Amino acid sequence: MVKKFFSRCYIGIILLFLYAPIAILIVLSFNASKSRAKWGGFTLKWYQELFHNEDIMAALSTTLIIAITSALIATLLGTAAAIAMNSMKKTPRTILLAITNIPMLNADIVTGISLMLIFVALNFTLGFTSVLLAHITFNIPYVILSVMPKLKQLNAHTFEAAQDLGASPVYAFFKVILPDIFPGVLSGFFLAFTMSLDDFVITHFTKGPEINTLSTKIYTEVRKGIKPEIYALSTLMFVTVLLLLIFINRRKADKNTLIRKV
């Protein structure tokens, strides 16, 4: 029991460490004082002003469009690649996985710089498209690494059985393989979306002067002080995700109890 108590305490301390800054940011979003350093009373002013701040709204929409598009394209390319890699012999598979690991293990700053150099060498204007291409590039590995384990667990005979029963390979894929690996595909998509949303360094080097994502917008404000509207926006985003996750977990739990009852 003593051991259990210590375990609980330890988890508590780590969670406090991980979530304390988030609590601070949420508190700051209700702070009437414009300065980060002092508390000026409770207000909802920043939440109202947020929606009238065109700069922040533009950055938000750029961020979301890039995150969704890059996650979608990366999921398509990554899932296809994972299926192909799963059917390869050991040597080509190892080579492809090594390439997959490069952007995951390489430093963001090096990936960002290298992408900037190739865009400039190709006379490609840095802007929305270059950021999108960069995000797809660093997102694909997350999808592959999420889908691969699901493919390994797959029973190959079900695919053959479906075809023996007259299904075309494509039809059999959508009816037999895809449902089995779908959880992996989905978690790959969400991981890619999250990574894209949270990225700063690679965006910083590939964005050019014309556009801003939320991250790069925040970085330009680090020295002169963050606008309180940004705290309000991040609080809204965080709470949305939190509620979404609680909702999904509840539904999962409901499903489980339902299955047990049946």
Binding positions for another protein, 30-59, rule CB under 8 A: 36-37
At closest approach, how far in Å is the CB of 243 from another protein?
12
Number of residues that bind another protein (CB under 8 A): 92
CB 162 within 8 A of CB 112: no
Q: Which of the residues 191 through 230 are near another protein (CB under 8 A)?
A: 191, 194, 197-198, 200-201, 205, 214-215, 218-219, 222, 226, 230
Nearest to 86 by CA among 149, 138, 137, 143: 149
Residues 6+ away with beta carbon under 8 Å from 206: 112, 115, 116, 119, 126, 130, 131, 133, 134
Q: What is the 3-state composition of the chain as percent helix, strand, coil, each rounded to the nearest 5?
A: 80, 0, 20
Q: Which of the residues 75 through 94 are near another protein (CB under 8 A)?
A: 77-78, 80-81, 83-88, 90, 93-94
Residue from 58, 64, 104, 236 touching another protein (CB under 8 A): that is 104
- DSSP string of 135-174? HHHHHHHHHHHHHHHHHHH--HHHHHHHHHTT--HHHHII
d(CA 27, CA 23): 6
Q: Per CB under 8 A, does 97 bind another protein? A: yes
Give the nearer residue to another protein in terms of CB position, either 11 or 65.
Answer: 11
Residue from 103, 126, 203, 229 touching another protein (CB under 8 A): that is 103
Q: Per CB under 8 A, does 258 bind another protein? A: no
At closest approach, how far in Å is the CB of 188 from another protein?
9
Q: Which of the residues 114 through 143 are near another protein (CB under 8 A)?
A: 114-118, 121, 133-134, 136-137, 140, 142
Q: Per CB under 8 A, does 166 bind another protein? A: no
Burial of 242 (0-12, 13-18, 19+ CB in 10 A): exposed
Q: Per CB under 8 A, does 254 bind another protein? A: no
